[in-house]
Amino acid sequence: MTLVRRPRVQGVLSQVRLALFAALLLAVGPIWGADRIASGGAEQPRLRARDLGIVVGRYQPGPLNAITDVAGVKVGQVTLIRGQGSLKPGEVPVRTGVTVVIPREDVWRKKVPAGAFVLNGTGEMTGLAWVAESGFLEYPIALTSTLNVPRVANGVMSWMITRYPDIGISDDTLTPVVAECDDSRLNDSQGRHVSEQDVATALNGAASGAVAEGSVGAGTGMVSYGFKGGIGTASRRLSDDDGGYTVGALVNANQGRREELMVAGVPVGRLYEREGAPLGSAPPAPTDREEGASLAGGEGSIIVIIATDAPLDARQLGRLAKRAALGLARTGSTARHGSGDFMLAFSTGNIIPHYPKARTFVMTHLADTHLNPLLSATVEATEEAVLNALTMASTMVGRDDRRVEAISLPRLMALLAKGR
């Protein structure tokens, strides 16, 4: 197994320039444009980790630094935000959504090899039993909130049946992969507000370009390390000597406790707490349910989707999925008792045909002795995706006027400059 380097701040900004950049953020922050989406006020523009000078690992990102750098992969999202004030169960406030990942066009007939890993199972990713048994994935992946899982699964099935009308008649049935995180700290979860039409909209609008991050789609109501969390993505492209393959990660970050957060090897969470709250805030006051979960050791969940164009089989993809857990650990998570941490990896490097007529078919297989660069790239992309979820998320005000602050970028940069 390849030794993983400790992340560091390098390249774009030196330590001196990092300190100057932090000072500049502090100075100009109040006059920058406002982001008022359910934030209750003006907020500084959000930036990705790499744009802040936080460079993770040694491999270079793809052009988009996103899971969509893997050719053929598409991402679609629907964000639902409406209502404010006191919780009215089944009605408002709504702070939720859905995010979908389509591995390739016509994935039902051109299946992709896939493998999964469950770091801690306090949660759900439906369909994993069939992925483990078959070794492939044959439909889009959907991410959403916990109580929305059945409706989102129905939405995926309806969308698939529209495109493949023989499903369940003369063709096979399907068990969609739907992964959940709990957004009830900000959202009226009992309302199960994501509809089948919302799922269809996300799937029909899925694109291969840049991916929106932070408080969007399934990440709308998520909280990570005591800050506003949500969707994050990143990628790595190997050198031609290592095969030139691309690895992309997409996360829905809803995990961790503030004191655990590590950024570029700096214990940002502990330092953030130690220096008080003028530029940030303490985590939201927990509900009775969360108090109980806290006593039981609960701390939220994370979903990690890994895509690659390297020609890997299901066993090897399971190994990549395990390495995603190392990327998560580098941000400070310890996958506590109450955490749901699910990793799913797939490869577009081979096609598994739909009920082939021939007795055999051929797949290209990367030798395990050439797997190490992909393992390291998976760790790096996952870590950076989690950081992007944090730095791109916007402050959110949700149910009962509960406010979850986005991590302060000026303070983050100041702590990194000081911590290095």
Rounded Cα distance between 301 and 280, Å, is: 23
Give, in order, the Cα–Cα distances in Å from 322 to each of 152, 261, 292, 379, 386: 26, 20, 30, 9, 16
239 is catalytic: no
Question: Catalytic pick from 184, 215, 224, 301?
Answer: 301
**DSSP string of 153-217?**
HHHHHHHHHHH-TTBTTTB-----EEEEE--TTTS-GGG----HHHHHHHHHT-BSS----BSSG
Question: Catalytic pick from 182, 183, 313, 341?
Answer: 341
39: its two tokens: 């934030």
Question: Catalytic pick from 333, 339, 347, 376?
Answer: 339
Strand 141-145 relative to strand 177-181, pairing: parallel
Q: Which residue has the tokens 């320039």?
A: 17
Q: For 368, phi and psi rounded to 5 degrees?
A: -60, -30
Structural element, H or E, at residue 306: strand 300-308
- Can you say whether residue 285 is alpha, beta or left, with left for phi > 0 and alpha for psi between -120 and 50 degrees? beta
184 is catalytic: no
341 is catalytic: yes
Residues labelled as active-site residues: 301, 339, 341
